Amino acid sequence: MVLSYREALNQAMREEMRRDRRVFLIGEEVGYYQGAFKVSKGFVEEFGPERVLDTPIAEAGFTGLAIGAAMAGLHPIVELMTFNFSILAMDQIVNNAAKIRYMSGGQLSIPLVIRGPGSAAHGLGAQHSQSLEAWFCHVPGLTVIAPATPHDAKGLLKSAIRDRNPVIFIESQLLYGTKGEVAEVEYTVPIGKAEVKREGTDVTIVAYSKMLLLALEAADELARSGIHAEVIDPRTLKPFDLSTVVASVKKTGRMVIVEEGWRFCGLGAQIVDSVSSQAFDYLDAPIVRVTGEEVPMPYSRPLEDAAIPDKARIIAAVNSVTGRG
């Protein structure tokens, strides 16, 4: 069946809350308002206010509450109105959620999902348009997921809810209305497994979240000029499925990484380091990164468009590594 990204997330949480009474949803306006992006539509009516908890605007407070609930054996899902607000809860996420299992000698688990929208979304300004996934990937103890399609969003969210460790689950704000095929049968998508979204022989493109859709568009256009790009969606950013990417690079000999975040210390830099350590002798050209500009995100739509990767920049990068640029 065809579902929107928003509907796929809704279905994943609904199924898991029906399956396991320990699962509950907490966050700003998740109940009677049905979520800032309507992901929790119909939840309070089905599960009641005891399992769908509206909170004050206090990210550190309700994230800490959820961590405590996880320590006590519940399975909280924290919805952040935007991942930009996770900055207010970073002490709870980094010093508690990520470390309690280690500091308790494995006596305590934190089965917790922190999810919500991230990255730019058409004129929301510098404080509401940031791609912060590299921050979370840097922290031992956190799993980081950024799905691009409704199928992957549903399957990975179900896997995240069932996991015994804290999961950061980032949803691009511009993906909620996108649609795709979602299986009607029960399924999960494994955490830590990338997927080749398009087969190719000339260059490997690695892209995640909404950048994947741009990469696939670029690959379609490149194919018309005789360049066949293999497009890989990591889906899980940490742990990162290096083996799938390395196998592709050994086949194509060239690589382009597309990420919306800032270049310096960005996720792509780690991917370059990891791939180079295992496949350097197979590379026929330097790895090229296509990233967001090193600026706070502009409010102006034309300036915002200039600050984030687009199809033309991806095509130019591919042309440069294949000798067409």
Pair of tokens at residue 127: 């404080």
Quick check: is 59 catalytic? yes
Q: How far apart are CA 56 and CA 229, in angstroms?
A: 47
- Please report, in angstroms and rounded to a whole number, the separation of the first and last CA atoms in the chain: 41
Q: Which of 271, 164, 285 is nearest to 208 (CA)?
A: 271
Q: Is 56 exposed, middle or buried (0-12, 13-18, 19+ CB in 10 A)?
A: exposed
Exactly one of 28, 75, 79, 128 is catalytic; which is it?
128
Please tell me the distance from the alpha carbon of residue 284 to that of residue 281, in angstroms, as a whole number.
8
Pairing label, strands 236-238, 143-145: antiparallel
Residue 159 main-chain phi, psi, to 5 deg: -65, -40
Secondary structure of residue 291 in the 3-state scheme? strand
Those residues whose C-beta lies under 8 Å from the C-beta of residue 234, and which sit 6 or more positions away, are 146, 194, 206, 208, 240, 241, 245
Report the C-alpha gap between 84 and 142 in whole angstroms. Answer: 17
Q: How far apart are CA 299 and CA 70, in angstroms?
A: 38
Catalytic residue among 59, 79, 133, 171: 59
**Kind and range of the H or E element at 320?**
helix 311-321
DSSP string computed for 216-257? HHHHHHHHHTT--EEEEE-SEEETT-HHHHHHHHHHHS-EEE
Contact 226, 175 (CB under 8 A): no
Reported as type and span, the H/E element at residue 268 is: helix 267-279
Q: Which DSSP symbol is given to 80?
A: P
Catalytic residue numbers read 59, 128
